[in-house]
Structure 1
């Protein structure tokens, strides 16, 4: 992996950005939207994958994971209470299968986003971000990549994961290429990153990789980047970045790859307020494409924009994830109803504007370096 030349996402690319129906998330008129969990907010969902990247189906249900927190207080506070939740999905909707891990079992004080893959031996590799440290007296913002590998259980016709499982830190930022994600104080959007491990098996050689949202040094501060780690005997090896936001964005999240027609599509998401300058581009799903995992990558649609929120609701949805069949899942974030930004509004107004549930599923069409929402 050391021969990677990182793709550069630059201001020139953003200058090519034009809004169109093909790259705009459709408006949501059903509000408040139906909730997946009646008493909890959910966000950042992902499927338990088979090793070919397709969603795993057990006892007639697709298995999914999501972040969850009690639907109380200001929505922006949910990140301080985040837990991994297991869900089932079939034609009748969603089934609550409980928290993925037992209380206090994970290595962080919170559990942030990751990915999961079902193994041939009956276990599930759950890769997640340990935010803070278990038992810390106050919440910090250190981030490490952790793997737990519970057995998949189907007793009494119900799917669950074995709670008696070890958790092992497998990667952390190296302090060189990638800045350490170790702040004591901060908030989402204002901290360095080393999180959101996205599992990927390269069909070209069968090797396993993790894509990680990271931070690299930039002009006395930091910029968003996508780190690539490769599996090796006994662990993981952290390599050079696949992509760097060259002076334009300090936080890109949830990197993942889908292979279509021998082309590697590298997707990631970011908020409008993370651009430099702020609102230089919309909150959305962005992407690049290459003939191989290590590149060379070119931006999709010229600018990198694949899906952006509609201007009238600039924070409508977030955390888009493109599945192997090109379905696109996300969650409903904020629906604007006035002049005040809901993220900065008082709790009652923010809570009324917050979705906290799964957004309508979209479908993406890919044609080389061009994309459109179907």
Structure 2
């Protein structure tokens, strides 16, 4: 089903012909997104930062691993990964994980209303391989450990309150999280080749100290209906959480996760897919699959972190591939939005929009050096659709 149905609130009349029939539910599902012209036009030549962008967009470097963040005394962490933005009065904050083991953790950069950096600081320390995570509706950052029996840590983007471990959310190789305020659930991906997709139902919404961990159950196909079943032993020992429930659906390397308007999307890097769960109907389908691209090469490979704009566009970052962030539009068109040049040994991580939607933050985890000590965090500003 086209994302416009969910994200733009389109009204369906007596005929779905205007939408190619994809608004019809039941046995028929929409075809995955196909290549086409992007909403911002072709990429231009690489700028001074080595980034190819459409006309009207500009980039700047926000921070570099091992170097002091401009205007502050704080040294930016290695291997920047998942991230999110938070409104802060007239300015905003961008948080970023550190995917190293040991030490890991997360940091934050604060901006004023004009976009100037005012401070940078640590919000989580002493953890392992913090890969992705997710933003909560109560403005905390869930930082996820991508290790066997890893934890989720709830952190304060303002750096005032101490981070708290949340074992009730399960111990497994966590990747990303996405909060659903309608169903009062947090969805969780698992970075295993035979991983599962989970949701956590807090006993009290807004308090992650206790609750129920559930796993998605479905058939072996790429579309159909799904149900949820409780995971008996969320601590994952002695039996891994993904092996506790018969019929749990397997996904090949869960990565990014994004929720908006009764839909959750998540990516699987092992098969270059973007999955779509339609939560109102409890059905699932493919929003993108590089092996199903018609008539030419796939523009999006190495699918990894994902975020969405207020317009309804999805932005999917590549781990490898052409080092691109690609956009998947509500009309199910996929196209490159930007490309980082000269960094083929890296991956793009942590895409997140500023509260106003006019700035996109992301990192190249290993930069030009190919090492975790060479990470670079960027900002792109321009006429994003909102």
Give the TM-score normalised by structure 2: 0.45
Give the TM-score normalised by structure 1: 0.46
